Amino acid sequence: MPNRDEVGVVADYALDDGGRIRATWFDRWGDPDGTGHELHPFGLEATAHRTFAGVTIPSAGRAGWHYGTDRWPEGVFFQYEITDLELVTAGRR
C-alpha cells in the first residue's frame, strides 16, 4: 500500500465548446467505502456557469467518489450553487 504522502496525482478535465470547465477527475486517496485507505476515482462536474462582473465561473456542480463508474450517484457528497459573487481586487478588503 503506498504512503499517502508519496502518491502522485494526474488530473484529467473536460471543457465545453466555449472553453469552460465541464468536469475534472482523478484518483484520490481516501476510504469512501470504509474498507481502508487507497486511491479511488473522484470527480467534480460543473452543471452550470454564470458570469459575475465579466468573470464566468462554474456556478453549480457536484463532487464525489466513484466518478466515471456506475457508483457515481451514490458517491456524490457535495453539491453547490453560487447565486451571487462579489469580486474583490488586490488591496481591497
Q: Please check whether residue 92 lies inside any domain of the structure.
A: no
Among residues 47, 51, 35, 38, the alpha carbon closest in space to that of 76 is found at 47
What total of structural domains would you count in the chain? 1
Confidence (pLDDT) at 47 = 97
Q: Please check whether residue 57 lies inside any domain of the structure.
A: yes
Residue-wise pLDDT tens digits, 31-90: 999 999 999 999 999 999 999 999 999 999 999 999 999 999 999 999 999 999 998 888
Q: Please check whether residue 93 lies inside any domain of the structure.
A: no
Band the pLDDT of 2: cuts 50, 70, 90: low
Confidence (pLDDT) at 4 = 58
Q: DSSP of 3-23, one letter per residue?
A: -GGG-----EEEE-TTS-EEE
Q: Please check whether residue 10 lies inside any domain of the structure.
A: yes
Q: Please check whether residue 77 lies inside any domain of the structure.
A: yes
Q: Please check whether residue 91 lies inside any domain of the structure.
A: no
Q: Please check whether residue 45 lies inside any domain of the structure.
A: yes
- Full residue range of the structural domain in which residue 72 is found: 4-81
